[in-house]
Amino acid sequence: MTTPVKMVKVEVDGVAVEADSRDNLVEAARRAGKAIPYFCYHPRLSIAGQCRMCLVETADQPGRLQAGCQVKVKEGLKILTNTPAVKENQRGVMEFHLINHPVDCAICDQSGECKLQDYYMEYDHQPSRQRTYKLQKPKREELGPMVVYDAERCIMCTRCVRFMDEVAQEPQLAVVNRGDHSLIATFPGQPLDSNYSGNTVDICPVGALLNTDFRFKSRVWFVEKSPTVCNGCSNGCNTYVESRGTQLYRLLPRRNEEVNQVWMCDEGRLTYHETNEKRVEWARKGRGEAREDIGPALALDEARRLLAPLKGKPGLALWISAQCTVEEAQGAFDLGAQLGASKYLLGGKPAGKGDEFLVRADKNPNRRGVEMLAQAWGVKLEAGETEGALNGVSALVAARTDGLGLHLGALERIEAFIAIAQNEDPAAQLAQVVLPVNSLYEAGGTVVNYYGRLQRSWAAIVKPRGDAQPGWAWAGQLAESLGGARAVATVQAAFASAAAKAAPLTGLEFDAISEEGRVLPALLPTEFPKRAPRPESAPAAQPQA
Amino acid sequence: MAQALIDLLKEKLPDAIVSSHTHCGDEVVVVKREQLVDVIKLLRDEPAADLKLLAQIACVDLLTFATELTGGGSIASQEAPAYLKASQGPREPRYQVAYNLASVKKKHRLRIRVELRSDDCKVPTITSLYPTADWWERYCWDMMGIEFSGHPNLQRLLMYPEFVGHPLRKDYPIQRRQPLVHEHDFPDLVRGPGPGPGGAGVPMSQTHVGRKNVDPNTYE
Amino acid sequence: MTQKTQAAQAADTAPVALNPDPLELDDELPSAFSKVKLGPSHPATHGTVRLNMTLDGEKIVECIPEIGFLHRGFSKSSENATWHQVLPYTDRLNYVSPILNNVGYILAVEKLIGITDTERSKYLRVIGGEISRMCDHLTCVSAIGLEMGAMSAFLYGVEAREMLWDRVAEMTGARMTTSWTRIGGVATDTPPGWIERVKETLPRVLELTDELDKLFSKNRIFVDRTRGIGVIGADEAVSWGFTGPALRASGVDYDVRKAHPYLVYDRMEFEVPVGQRGDTFDRYLCRLEEIRQSARIVTQAIEQMPPGPIIIDDWRYALPPKKDVFTSIEGVMAHFKLIMEGIHVPAGEVYGFTEGSNGELGFHIVSNGAGKPYMIQVRAPGFPIVGALPRLLQGHSLGDLIPIFDSINMIGGEVEQ
């Protein structure tokens, strides 16, 4: 499909390197391991050439500074990034950018990940020569539900405007006013309510656009980043979750060229709240007034006491949410086989709106994975959202309680309802035994997205939250107490047992799954969502800015 | 001025040298491990070199040299996260042993460096050349697990004998706990042997008058 | 006394022998060696060290020092702190002369970065360092006497030390935990009136030093207990890694301040006392004389010190003045990055060494370009000397152990880090 790319030989500071002929000087220098600083350039957006920070010299025009983001390479070009003229320009550009910049580092969220700070220490580190006052502009303007704008900090790089125009394709931002009174603004009466507005916060190089949800929650150097996969919909955007102790603070997109490039939607950014709030913390038994926290061992005993007499009898159903990871689903199916469950129901969050970019209508990350395992176990999965799905069910084991909210009436009548639940939702309130489960962000696991791509999430939080355990651990312990095989102890072993069962996973090892994930050819979808044609972008080898 | 020492080495033992460089005023010569003793013997005995003072034997673990994150004020950036370490193979050669040699008469210095792989961290001892190397090599063994073959007494120096691991290695996390060491019983020299409080066989924690009925697991 | 028969008198005076062979009388009584552990907490040893001794009566057959009781993980802790956050750890290395540790560490880091500090800061570092050295030597000299029973002489030394510590506290803010140097300079300048107070303190300290000299150097007991005790020759001392007063007492004229001058020592006139015999007495005398030479250096440095800034004006290394931090974005950004991320020291390896009070204090520093050290290993001057303790104690008796041990001035903090 693609024509072969033409490569040219260039030299960067004396280092010879082969560059793509479509590269600009910044990308060519990146191939050589040299960093040319920039603010307004972004590899995935159109060129603005506004900040003037990337100016470098080329040997064919000595003394003339050329914008590294605009000029394309040609055969035999010699790029010089550390001549005195370049260094003086970098220092001077930093000085200009900082003239009206407010003294906000102490209260600005971007501290610690701010390009102005980094480039200042690297290229400028001079005291201010300014003897006059700084301009005052609007601060903390709410541009939209997720984004707050501080005009004084803005360096007018226009990355946000270009992003909304080109990538999100909802042109909700624009530059207004002239000169040093310029601002970024939305159109009157039309807030920045795009589902992708959070990405403008990511690409803003300074603290002008900030995430309202994360604002003032934590300093960025206190949190640890772990790679994970968003569980908001079946697109499975790759993310980083930032955590400290047992709390999660935010989700950032992680680069995966094939799934989400470097973007994610706003709904996905908010999914970490479910891991933080309204969690079931302690293993308990009893419903309503009789509720009692009894700890994991006793809770398992109680569950066994309730389930053992019902083994193999009709009316014993297993509810598996499409939010479960592959390992959790494998544990659940194994438990179901141990129990001789007669009915298997596929639950999950209700469907929502999808779009042509990153958002899928199916708001569960692992429907394909659960269906794959159901097929491997030879089990028929019934849809959990149909009314009357729980008719005739007298005992229910739920691996995650998503979607059970539709059947609260039926749940009240069930006398043996064991829930492996993450949050305190109405369904979990009705369970006889509740076993608290780790969320996808806390424990590691794999999920299969709508495209059939198996992706891995690394455990972010290692401190246990109350009695919470991974779902496969609960299912395994429950199965073991009912007479099954010894429960697996690690997520690697849990995945291995899934790989032993499901044909698409044969031969795969948990630790060998890379950060990009892998597509399972057997699970490729037969119909694809319609997408608008995307703008031509530079080759996939370009890293995230 | 230590360039003369490097030239001397190049002249007398050219195949022992792997590379040499100067950095911040220090001259460093990287030598092959097998010829380490010959090199140092030459540098000690040759009158032009006279490097008779072994100032230090330092050991470096380069495991996280490329990935150790910047910043010390934050809690998070202490170690490279596990997924990052797993995606990059171990850096080889992993260990470097540096011998800082000096001459009190000629006032020049030289550093000799040996590079070791993680699966083969053995170096010949130089205790036969410098008696002070005894303790320096024991320190390197204790802290980083580098074996010095031929050392007369390669035991832990700073850590207690029941300590598990080599603490200065980069994969030894700072929060790691050690197994508790039980209290060594030794006879009460004051009260002598015999049954009853203070007698032999009773742990010292029980021998203090007044502690007869105290649960030894309390911290009071 | 009753009269006895001549035979009985002869029987009285005849020697009683188990074996009639007269030569066997001179044999020593067969007895087992006793194993005694001295320490780790012993009132007469400096620092926590256990000496596992095998004694034949009073004679030391074998002595194995066991160290590690004060090991606090300096190297590992410094790998998790920024370059400046390591400074308080260095105070606690040789805790009797903390400024010398600060200076030694910062000079090694500056060597790796490739910068020097300001003129005034160089003089200040010399002044602070020499005052610290005087404190250390006063401690050691007084303690040699104290542990041999001369407590009042110890108090003279301590009085001198207190006065010096008062000066140090006035300038740095603390007596021991000074953390005074910074990359590119020092933290605080001399307070008003400090120079005058130092000029008053030094003569009094020298008077007290002379008192110590008079009390010890010609004291019969002191000389008997230290002369010819713990002798080590020059070549052997070098091969055992000795540096500092212990080495100079053996007759080797090696002082880092003269051999590889740093800061402004090349502009100072001072002598390096060198001993002759390499015994405990010479080690004591070298330290005593060094107190006088240090006072000389301080006096000269005070005269020569120029006015000016005490830290370089480069915001990559030195914190900006608070006025700039609170009013300009450049200042707050520089302050921010320096504190949170640490100073970026270019990647590389260096061995920076200075003359600590016990000898060559070296820091082997490796940086990978980050804001915190990749590895720091201290070359403590006391470390090889304590390792040579078995050699020094060879053939001596238990009573010689204490003077020998005190004369090498083992400071647990630096030896065990």
How do residues A235-268 score in pLDDT, each as one tens digit?
A: 999 999 988 888 899 999 999 989 999 999 999 9
Domain count, chain C: 1
**In which residue are the tokens 């080590």 written?**
C232
Q: Does B87 touch chain A (CB under 8 A)?
A: yes
Note whether residue C9 is domain-resident.
no
Q: What is the mean pLDDT of residues C14-36?
A: 64
Rg of chain A, C-alpha, whole Å: 27
Question: A7-96 in CATH: which number?
Answer: 3.10.20.740
Separation between Cα atoms, residue A393 and residue A399, nearest integer Å: 16
For residues B70 and A417, the model is more confident at A417
Q: How close, in Å, is residue C372 to chain A by CA atoms?
A: 15
CATH number at residue C161: 1.10.645.10
CA-to-CA dists, residue A14 to A8, A17, A23, A32, A503, angstroms: 15, 9, 18, 10, 52
In DSSP notation, A24-53 reads BHHHHHHHTTPPPP-SS--TTS-----S-T
For residue range A297-356, what is the model confidence (pLDDT) as tens digits? 999 999 999 998 888 888 899 999 999 999 999 999 999 998 888 889 999 999 998 888
Q: Which of B60, B74, B107 sits opposite C375 (nearest CB)?
A: B60
Helix (H, G, I), strand (E, B) or coil at C125: helix
Strands A316-321 vs A395-399: parallel, antiparallel or unpaired: parallel
The pLDDT score that the predictor gives to residue B212 is: 47
Nearest to A367 by CA among A402, A321, A403: A321
Choices 3.30.460.80, 1.10.620.20, 3.10.20.90, 3.40.47.10: CATH for B3-198: 3.30.460.80
> Does A23 have pLDDT greater than 50?
yes
Residue C175's pLDDT band (boundaries 50, 70, 90)?
very high
CA-to-CA dists, residue B189 to B186, B193, B198, B208, C37, angstroms: 9, 8, 9, 13, 13
Residues of A in contact with C344 (CB under 8 A): 121
What's the DSSP call for residue C366? E
For residue range B123-142, what is the model confidence (pLDDT) as tens digits? 999 999 999 999 999 999 99
> Does C411 have pLDDT greater than 50?
yes
Q: Which of A105, A118, A125 sits opposite C332 (nearest CB)?
A: A105
**In which residue are the tokens 């510590």 written?**
C165
Among chain C residues, the shortest Cα distance to A219 is held by C340
For residue range C71-115, what is the model confidence (pLDDT) as tens digits? 999 999 998 888 999 999 999 999 999 999 999 999 999 999 999
Say which residues have a Cβ less than 8 Å from residue C401's Cβ, sequence separation at least 6: C38, C51, C53, C60, C63, C393
Cα torsion for A444, A445, A448, A453, to the nearest 10°? 60
Delimit the CATH 3.10.20.740 region(s) of chain A.
7-96
The pLDDT score that the predictor gives to residue B194 is: 55
Task: Assess whether the previous peptide bond of B93 is cis (omega < 30° from 0).
Answer: yes
Separation between Cα atoms, residue A1 and residue A276, nearest integer Å: 45
For residue range C203-230, what is the model confidence (pLDDT) as tens digits? 999 999 999 999 999 999 999 999 989 9
Rg of chain B, C-alpha, whole Å: 24
The pLDDT score that the predictor gives to residue A540 is: 47
Delimit the CATH 3.40.50.740 region(s) of chain A.
284-516
Q: How close, in Å, is residue C364 to chain A by CA atoms?
A: 27
Tokens of A194: 């795009």
The C-alpha angle with vertex A473 and arms to A469 and A477, in degrees rounded to 5, equals: 120
The pLDDT score that the predictor gives to residue A534 is: 58
Strands A183-186 vs A55-58: parallel, antiparallel or unpaired: unpaired
What percent of chain C clears pLDDT 70, i.e. is strictly above it? 93
For residue range A446-498, what is the model confidence (pLDDT) as tens digits? 999 999 999 999 888 767 788 899 999 999 999 998 888 888 888 999 999 99
> Does B204 have pLDDT greater than 90?
no
C228 lies in which domain range?
66-408
Separation between Cα atoms, residue C249 and residue C247, nearest integer Å: 5
Helix (H, G, I), strand (E, B) or coil at C340: helix
Tokens of A438: 């780790």
Nearest to B22 by CA among C369, C105, C350, C373: C350
Q: Does C336 touch chain A (CB under 8 A)?
A: yes
Asked whether the beta carbons of residue B83 and residue A226 sit closer than 8 angstroms, the reply is yes
> Does B6 have pLDDT greater than 70?
yes
Q: Does B168 touch chain C (CB under 8 A)?
A: yes
Asked whether the beta carbons of residue C349 and residue B65 sit closer than 8 angstroms, the reply is no
Positive or negative: CA dihedral A47, A50, A51, A53: positive
Window from A23-27, A85-89, A219-223, C253-257 with minimum mean pLDDT: A219-223
Please state, rounded to an integer, the average pLDDT across all residues of chain B.
79
Beta strand spans in A408-526 (E)? 416-421, 433-436, 445-448, 453-457, 518-519
Chains linked to A by 3 or more Cβ pairs within 8 Å: B, C
The pLDDT score that the predictor gives to residue B152 is: 92
Window from A391-405, B21-35, B70-84 with minimum mean pLDDT: B70-84
The pLDDT score that the predictor gives to residue B173 is: 80
Residue B71's pLDDT band (boundaries 50, 70, 90)?
very low
Q: Does B153 touch chain C (CB under 8 A)?
A: no
Residue A531's pLDDT band (boundaries 50, 70, 90)?
low
Question: A104-276 in CATH: which number?
Answer: 2.20.25.90
Choices 3.40.50.740, 3.40.50.300, 1.10.357.10, 1.10.10.10: CATH for A284-516: 3.40.50.740
The pLDDT score that the predictor gives to residue C24 is: 61
Residues 171-210 of chain B with CB under 8 A from chain C are 172, 174
Given a contact cutoff of 8 angstroms between Cβ atoms, the answer to whether C334 and C350 are in contact is no
CA-to-CA dists, residue A24 to A29, A30, A35, A52, angstroms: 9, 10, 13, 15
The pLDDT score that the predictor gives to residue C22 is: 56
Note whether residue C21 is domain-resident.
no
Beta strand spans in C129-280 (E)? 181-182, 185-186
Note whether residue C2 is domain-resident.
no
For residue range C308-322, what is the model confidence (pLDDT) as tens digits? 999 999 999 999 999
> Does B197 have pLDDT greater than 90?
no
Q: What is the pTM of this model?
A: 0.84
Window from A213-217, A291-295, A463-467, C60-64 with minimum mean pLDDT: A463-467
Domain boundaries, chain B: 3-198
Element (H, E) at A175: strand A173-176
